[in-house]
Structure 1
Amino acid sequence: MLKKKNRTIIDQVEFVCLSELVPKEHLLRTVNESIDFSFIYEKVKDLYSDCTGRPSIDPVVLIKILIIQILYGIPSMRQTIRDAEVNLAYRWFLGYGFQEKIPHFSTFGKNYERRFRESDLFDEIFVQILLEAIQCGFLRTDAAFIDASQVKANANKNKYLRKMAKHRAHKYKRDLLLEINQEREKHGKKPFDDDNDNNNGNQADQTTKEIKESTTDPESGLFHKGEKERCFAYTASVACDSNNFVLAVKAAAGNVHDSQVFSDVFEQVRKRVPDVEAIVVDAGYKTPGICREILEANIVAVMPYKRPVTPEGYFRKYEYVYDEYYDCYLCPNNQVLRYSTTNREGYREYKSNPQICLSCPVRMQCTQSKNHIKVVTHHVWQEYVDIVEDIRHTDWGREMYRKRSETIERVFADAKERHGMRFTRYRGLRKVQHYLTLLFACMNLKKLAMWKKTRGILPRVSSWIFAIWNFTPINATPLPCHLA
């Protein structure tokens, strides 16, 4: 029997509570119960006046609007406000009634420029959510996975200026220079001067390069890798644990190599999770400086095989055997390559005898230089790389590296597919850093809420429970005895 819906009911007056209209299983209800947002008032109280001006919009409401935008991957603040006006769950989460007016979409932008821009509010929100996860025992300390991904900038790739820019100095540059000069003095060589104290024009040429600077967003960087589209972008360097909780995030220009941002991320990880046992990274981070930095912190470094850069048809570097006792190399034809010098990058150079190489039957597989000299390099910190290589060949090392696809790569996939990290509408490094910090804070918050609900944990963990858990990782993979 055909039935027609009576639509007159939509004009009737009903007595109903807004909270009753939000389903018990709704994500925002779970998020709201998982953490007490009142800590934000303490963080921002110094940014507001006590006695002058009109009453402000509740700062918790401003942050919750951003949380809604990120959790549901809404592309703009304007659209977020439009959705909040008609979505009952959004209104309930913000604490607004049926007929209360939702703040204008420009309200957050004005508050950000006037109050939050120079503050550490977003970092403090990130840390507060992470601490909540630590107190619940959700974090695992067996390993931290670090990687970087590009975020397309809000800039036209065809509008740029060519400029000369200085290379970013590594954190360990002075330590390396000190060891280089000790090495050179030991062999009777003149020590190098510090770049920062050298005003020589030739030296400046070595530390600068030509770049393309966007006229739309000068703080972004031109990014191009493989078959990916050439565009202006930012780099998001992120660390997470084995349970995919994000531990640290650092934004940089798209033309800055991942390894140059590693020290900043690694320092944040050590500060927030001081008992982390291993750091797992990809081959792009396999440099002597990074290997040394991790191992000297008494942390295990897990890195994969790094493909050699030797052209096809030539002998690989591992075919040249290093003799530590005599400090020399032996080539595949059993000829000696002796120490020549230590360059500014920290590599010892070992050179062959050109008279021997000239008549060598395998010279074309070794070198085709005009002076018939083969040069093999050996970094002053090579022993750290050798230790990492030994770890790579263990079953435990292979298993830990395999988890990258389940951890940090999954974090980036979720951030881009579900939370809109493929591109940013913000311009400027500081704004992008704040945006990425809050984005990964929301991802942690979502996971924290769902895990609390699944495990039946109360919104606030009591101190005696925290003492019993004592940061003990859940089902953590034990470190092998020979690596402990």
Structure 2
Amino acid sequence: MGMQLKLHMVTIEDLVPEGHFLRKLEATLDLSFVQEETASLYSRGNGRPPINPVMLVKYLLVGYLYGIPSERQIEQRIQTDVALRWYLGLDLFDRVPGHSTISQLRKRKPSFRKVFRRLFEEVVRECIEKVLVSGRLAATDSTHVKANASRASEYLVEMRSEPGAYWERLDSYEEEGLQELEKRTGHRRKKRTKQIKRDSRRSHKQVSRTDPEAGHMKRPGKPEGQYYLSHQTLDTDHGVILGVTVTPGDVHDSVPYLDHLEQIHRDVPPIQAVTADAAYDFPLAHRVLEEQGISFYVRPQPSADRTKAEFKRDAFSYDAENDVYQCPNGKELRVRGLYRSASGVYWEYWADREDCRSCPFREKCLSENDQRGARRLLDTYFRPTVRRHLTRQNEPDYLDALRKRQVWCEGTFAAQKWGHNLTRVLRRGLEAAEDHCLLSATALNLKRMIRCMG
């Protein structure tokens, strides 16, 4: 029996159900700003009409909303999915823009990138307007995103020594510390004239020929290879992502942290408290956040003692009232100097050389190659702030903040990896990786916004 073809009078409007997610999205997300942002990229009146930039943004966005990993697959889905056609403003028989057109457009108009950052910011702004963001507690974490580069493409490169991430900030605290040291000891150290060498434990790094901007990630419990890191901060009220920073996979989490947070605190909602895991527990963060009036709930870093001597730091007891350490032989170590490394500023507590010379524990306390002849202990310059924060670590609100970070950050990354393309980047270079992570975060924010409104 031959197949019967029925003639139906139907429009695409009839085929998309009333409560469909894309109908809600179309009603809430106003993309008119895309036209203004991209107006300068198109010349008027010559050549073929370009693809509408709003359609281009929607085309990519649905890929991240529905977890479709490549532009080629997005094109195939739009051809057969009526709701996607409707959202892009295409009729049932309109030609779908080819994936290569989209790719070429992104390649040839690099300034189109600003649109993705702006789109992310607009969605966050809408979430704030709809009172889904309070800034009461923001949680930060990073996750690895696989770069489009294999281990086979790696080669070793000599690293140039360069100043650390918080160089200028530490300079000003060092100056403040020197003035305090002068008050305490009566003598002033000369200003440092030569640059401090960065902690040069690693002088080489693995770089990929195919994507030199990715970084070789080697972390315990994580896959090894070429990756990018997506650093995200989200508001723990409804899980709205407030900020995204992307770095190569070999950058430590603490490096972009303060700039990333300050940008959110300045441009998005002011933040009252932040929470993060142990990778973010570094002394400077405690001090800077306190100065900004932000409470800091951080999982404490386990303390590592690299001293060669048998007597470790915990053999010395600290007397807070007189600010001195007491050694196992009952002698005092006093503040005698301020030490500056690439990553921090430290008080130097020195024992008296005479005390050390006649000490029965000398062998256990000083290592054989110790030329100074006296024991030294270092304490971070920011210790008072760190102590203030960490003495609260067993209080209910502190533990609650850490729990919220774990639930929200890890749950959000899992959702993005599962359904919003955050496992790997197909295009190469740091800028493309940033676009990718921004679109993934935007897709998740839109879903959360629409769900909360419903």
Pairing 1:303-342 to 2, within 5 Å after superposition: 303-310=298-305, 317=313, 320-324=316-320, 326-342=322-338
**Map of 2:417 onto structure 1:** 416
**Map of 1:257 onto structure 2:** 252
Question: 2:435, 2:295 → 1: CA distance?
Answer: 31
Question: 1:362, 1:311 → 2: CA distance?
Answer: 19
CA displacement at 1:261 relative to structure 2: 0.5
Deviates more, 1:37-46 or 1:70-79: 37-46
> 3-state SS of the aligned residue for 1:448?
helix
Question: 1:347, 1:118 → 2: CA distance?
Answer: 46
Deviation sequence 1:85-133 (CA, Å, 0-9, x none): 1111111111111111100101222222233446521111111111111
Contact 1:162 1:213 in 2 (8 A): yes
Query: What is the percentage of aligned positions where both structures have the same residue?
Result: 29
CA displacement at 1:28 relative to structure 2: 2.0
**Map of 1:192 onto structure 2:** 192
The amino acid of 2:116's aligned partner reads F
Deviation sequence 1:430-467 (CA, Å, 0-9, x none): 11111111211111111112222x2xxxxxxxxxxxxx
Deviation sequence 1:49-83 (CA, Å, 0-9, x none): 23333211111111111111111111211011011
Contact 1:143 1:277 in 2 (8 A): yes
**Map of 1:272 onto structure 2:** 267
> 3-state SS of the aligned residue for 1:424?
coil
Contact 1:183 1:342 in 2 (8 A): no
Deviation sequence 1:8-57 (CA, Å, 0-9, x none): 24x33321121222233332222222222223222222222233332111
CA displacement at 1:338 relative to structure 2: 3.0
Contact 1:30 1:450 in 2 (8 A): no
The amino acid of 2:286's aligned partner reads C
**Map of 1:122 onto structure 2:** 116
Coordinate RMSD, CA, aligned: 2.8
The amino acid of 2:176's aligned partner reads E
CA displacement at 1:288 relative to structure 2: 1.5
> 3-state SS of the aligned residue for 2:9?
coil
Contact 2:38 2:112 in 1 (8 A): no
Question: 2:378, 2:199 → 1: CA distance?
Answer: 23
Pairing 1:29-428 to 2, within 5 Å after superposition: 29-117=23-111, 119-159=113-153, 160-167=155-162, 168-170=164-166, 172-182=169-179, 187-193=187-193, 195=195, 203=197, 209-242=203-236, 243-310=238-305, 317=313, 320-324=316-320, 326-345=322-341, 346-353=345-352, 368-371=367-370, 373-428=374-429
Structure 1 residues not aligned, in runs of 5+: 1-5, 455-484
The amino acid of 1:298's aligned partner reads G
The amino acid of 1:417's aligned partner reads W
> 3-state SS of the aligned residue for 1:407?
helix
Question: 1:108, 1:53 → 2: CA distance?
Answer: 17
Question: 2:330, 2:103 → 1: CA distance?
Answer: 69
Contact 2:113 2:435 in 1 (8 A): no
The amino acid of 1:276's aligned partner reads I
TM score, norm. by length of structure 2: 0.88
Deviation sequence 1:177-197 (CA, Å, 0-9, x none): 4235546665443331263xx
> 3-state SS of the aligned residue for 2:392?
helix
Contact 2:348 2:379 in 1 (8 A): yes
Question: 1:26, 1:43 → 2: CA distance?
Answer: 29
TM score, norm. by length of structure 1: 0.83
Deviation sequence 1:200-256 (CA, Å, 0-9, x none): xxx489598322221111111111011322201111111000121000000011111
> 3-state SS of the aligned residue for 1:36?
coil
**Map of 1:437 onto structure 2:** 438
CA displacement at 1:406 relative to structure 2: 1.8
Question: 1:28, 1:46 → 2: CA distance?
Answer: 29
Deviates more, 1:356-365 or 1:285-294: 356-365
Instruction: Give the length in aligned residue pairs.
Output: 441
Contact 1:165 1:208 in 2 (8 A): no
The amino acid of 1:348's aligned partner reads W
Question: 1:228, 1:378 → 2: CA distance?
Answer: 32
Deviation sequence 1:387-440 (CA, Å, 0-9, x none): 211332432112112111221221111111211211111211111111111211
> 3-state SS of the aligned residue for 2:348?
strand
Deviates more, 1:111-120 or 1:100-109: 111-120
CA displacement at 1:143 relative to structure 2: 0.7
Change in 2 beyond 3 A, CA 1:18/1:8: same
Change in 2 beyond 3 A, CA 1:389/1:7: farther
> 3-state SS of the aligned residue for 1:216?
coil
CA displacement at 1:300 relative to structure 2: 0.8
Change in 2 beyond 3 A, CA 1:169/1:79: same
Contact 1:148 1:236 in 2 (8 A): yes
Contact 1:192 1:344 in 2 (8 A): no
CA displacement at 1:135 relative to structure 2: 0.7
